[in-house]
């Protein structure tokens, strides 16, 4: 499934990482310093009870006009 996650903060980043771990095609829309941080390091999700880390590559600063997604999640502050 192709999923777009709007927002790469405290909610969007772990959601995108877990969706990517589950085998989905995930794009996360980010901006500013967070965009640069994800470009450099990816999204690192550490699960303390299992001691595992994941680093999914899922990022877009802008979306092409022909982008199509099966699902969209908005995780932005209002």
Q: pTM value?
A: 0.71
Provide the CATH number for the domain around residue 28: 3.40.50.720
What is the SS3 assignment for the chain? CEEEEECCCCCHHHHHHHHHHCCCEEEEECCHHHHHHHHHHCCCEEECCCCEEECCCCCECCCCCCCCCCEEEECCCC
- Residue-number span of the structural domain to which 20 is assigned: 2-74
How many domains, in total, are found in the chain? 1
pLDDT, tens digit, 9 for 90 and up, residues 13-67? 888 888 888 888 888 888 888 888 887 777 877 777 776 666 555 556 677 777 7
Report the pLDDT value the prediction gives residue 42, as an integer from 0 to 100: 79
- Specify the pLDDT at position 53: 64
């Amino acid at each position: 499934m192709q999923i777009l996650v709007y927002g790469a903060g405290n909610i969007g980043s772990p959601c995108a990482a877990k969706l990517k771990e589950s085998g989905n095609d995930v794009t996360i829309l980010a901006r500013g310093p967070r965009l640069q941080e994800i470009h450099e390091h990816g999204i690192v999700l550490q699960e303390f009870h299992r001691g595992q880390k994941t680093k999914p590559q899922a990022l877009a600063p802008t979306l092409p006009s022909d982008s199509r997604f099966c699902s969209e999640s908005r995780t932005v502050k209002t």
